């Protein structure tokens, strides 16, 4: 689904009129454009967590119409792109979210994962850029862990990034940290990691 915020997307005049009417109505009913945009982002993430990516993207698009400077919009776009394995598109979106001031630890962890996945999945990225993405990944996870040292999600995400960078001991270390915070990692990722390296017994 195209994003309204994508500069190459030109809305036809009749749809632009509908967009303007939507923004005017919703802004009036929900306390202004900025507040309404945040509410629509929340709805987008609700659909995203239900794996309903079409409706999630629709809500994020509408949130962008309401306020193109709402950082949560771009976090939403990035989340959908991540699950669609469009990692470099996701990286660009999460980068925009960070530029607009998104600083919560969940988003920083998502950003770290997307920088990693973009770096390792796109063969067109040169070595220097790839190295800069990996460095950015590390800095993002450090920031996330400092902001929320007891949030298991940060370490689960860090484990995934470590795995894709080939740092299997690091991945196990992060999973151990996540477990200590109450997480129960399992599923496909755990199986993949075990095939690369058995769980350390220490």
pLDDT digits (tens, 9 = 90+) for 17-68: 777 777 888 888 788 999 999 999 999 999 999 999 999 999 999 999 999 9
Looking at residue 198, what is its pLDDT? 94
* Measured distance CA(78)–CA(110) in Å, rounded: 9
Q: What is the rounded average pLDDT for all residues in the chain? A: 91
Which has more confidence, 180 or 13? 180
Contacts of 164 (CB under 8 A, 6+ apart): 116, 117, 120
pLDDT digits (tens, 9 = 90+) for 143-176: 999 999 999 999 999 999 999 999 999 999 999 9
127 backbone dihedrals φ, ψ, rounded to 5° = -60, -40
**Cβ pair 178, 161 in contact under 8 A:** no
| Cα separation, 117 vs 114, whole angstroms | 5
What confidence score (pLDDT) does residue 12 get?
Answer: 60
The set of residues, in sequence order, having a beta carbon less than 8 Å from that of 62 and lying 6+ positions away, is: 22, 26, 40
Please write the tens of the pLDDT for every residue from 86-143: 999 999 999 999 999 999 999 999 999 999 999 999 999 999 999 999 999 999 999 9
Q: What is the pLDDT of residue 134?
A: 96
Q: Which two tokens stand for residue 192?
A: 């993949």
Distances in Å between the alpha carbon of 136 and those of 39, 46, 56?
Answer: 30, 29, 28
Q: Is the pLDDT of residue 6 over 50?
A: no
């Amino acid at each position: 689904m195209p994003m309204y915020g994508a500069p190459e997307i030109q809305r036809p005049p009749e749809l632009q009129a509908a967009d303007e009417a939507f923004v005017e109505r919703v802004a009036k009913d929900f306390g202004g454009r900025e507040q309404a945009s945040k509410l629509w982002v929340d709805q987008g993430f609700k659909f995203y967590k239900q794996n309903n990516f079409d409706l999630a993207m629709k809500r994020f698009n509408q949130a962008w119409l309401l306020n193109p400077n709402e950082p949560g919009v771009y976090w939403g776009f990035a989340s959908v792109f991540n699950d669609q394995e469009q990692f470099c598109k996701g990286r660009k979106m999460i980068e925009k979210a960070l530029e607009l001031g998104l600083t919560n630890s969940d988003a920083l962890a998502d950003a770290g994962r997307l920088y990693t996945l973009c770096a390792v999945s796109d063969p067109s990225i040169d070595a220097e850029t790839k190295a800069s993405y990996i460095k950015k990944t590390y800095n993002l996870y450090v920031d996330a862990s400092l902001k929320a040292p007891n949030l298991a999600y940060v370490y689960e995400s860090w484990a995934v990034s470590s795995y894709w960078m080939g740092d299997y001991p690091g991945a196990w270390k992060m999973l151990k940290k996540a477990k200590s915070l109450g997480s129960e990692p399992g599923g496909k990722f755990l199986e993949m990691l075990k095939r690369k390296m058995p769980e350390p017994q220490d």
